[in-house]
Amino acid sequence: MTKIVTIQLEEILKILERYPEGLSLGEIASHLSFSLNNKTLQRRLLALLNAKKIRKEGERRGTKYFPLETNVRENEDEDKDIPHEIFSNESLDVLKFLDAPMHTRERMSYKREFLENYAPNETIYVPIDLREQLKKEGKRVNEKLAAGTYAKQISQRLLIDLSYNSSRLEGNTYSKLDTQRLIEDGITAEDKVHEETVMIMNHKEALTFLVENAEDIELNAFTIFNLHYLLSQDLLKNPESCGNIRKIEVD
């Protein structure tokens, strides 16, 4: 299986996982970020069916494709954050709303008076006692703790979370668990494009650079060029473009 086919299969699967109610062939095609004719798309769907990644119902024009429930549950459990004990049961009930799929949520309109009635430095939306509690939870143990020392205490969580989410914005298909295994143990996920692995490792290098130099680093050209080099190494066609201002147009 070629790299392009693998990427296409993964995107089709992710689209179906976002629509557990099922999609027709045409609906799947409308959500794709690339163009496929119907025959090729049918072959891709057949490959996913044979691999038991999806299921289908109906015949001919009434055919719909569905994600397997096990795939959806695995992805949901994998990306779900564990709520902090600071949240009350009432707050957790409210937060469940954010876990609900978009199509199941009640439509809400914007309340303009919410903004118009706001008075700077006067209006308070969060109760004072809760503000104090949040401040206490987010406060460093030692006010004089150096930035680098503090960063090293949270660096592992930072490395995993930021590498995963930043790479995902670029279309990386690594899961959060796969990202953790790669960063902590150097284990590459199966059936992934090599560039995706490089992208995550580059994020690790860039974040390590920030953490190790936290006490001395400044927002200047030196820092930006180094970060660009670390993030783009082995990903650009022209290696000399890493850490440098581009000489060509970038689409």
Where does the pLDDT of residue 75 fall: very low under 50, low under 70, confident under 90, or very high at 90 and above? low
120 CB-near residues (< 8 Å, 6+ apart): none
Give me the mean pLDDT over the 61-86 stretch.
66
pLDDT of residue 202: 93
What does the angle CA 84 – CA 88 – CA 90 come to, to the nearest 5 degrees? 130
64-67/54-57 β-pairing: antiparallel
In this predicted model, which residue has the larger pLDDT, 135 or 60? Answer: 135
Q: Among 76-80, 157-161, 220-224, which is the least confidently predicted range?
A: 76-80
Q: Average of pLDDT values for 216-238?
A: 90
- The Cβ-side half-sphere exposure at 68, using a 13 Å CA radius, reads 11
User: Helix, strand or coil for residue 102?
Assistant: helix
| Residue 14, burial from CB neighbour count under 10 angstroms (0-12, 13-18, 19+) | middle
Q: Please give the Cα distance from 31 to 89 (Å, whole number).
A: 37
Helix runs in the chain, H state only:
3-18, 25-31, 38-50, 69-79, 89-99, 112-116, 128-138, 147-169, 176-185, 194-212, 221-232
The yes-or-no verdict on residue 198 having pLDDT over 90 is yes
pLDDT at 70: 60
Q: Across residues 195-205, what is the average pLDDT?
A: 93
d(CA 146, CA 214): 9
pLDDT bin (cut points 50, 70, 90) of residue 203 is very high
**pLDDT tier for residue 73 given thresholds of 50, 70 and 90:** low
217 confidence band (pLDDT: 50, 70, 90) = confident
**Residue-level pLDDT at 82:** 60
Q: Which pLDDT tens digit goes with each residue over 90-147? A: 877 777 777 777 777 777 788 888 889 999 888 888 888 998 988 887 765 555 555 5
> Does residue 69 register a pLDDT over 80?
no
DSSP secondary structure of 163-184: HHHHHHHTT----HHHHHHHHH
Report the candidate in 183, 179, 158 with the shortest Cα–Cα distance to residue 168.
Answer: 179
32 residue type, one letter: L
The amino acid sitting at 236 is: L
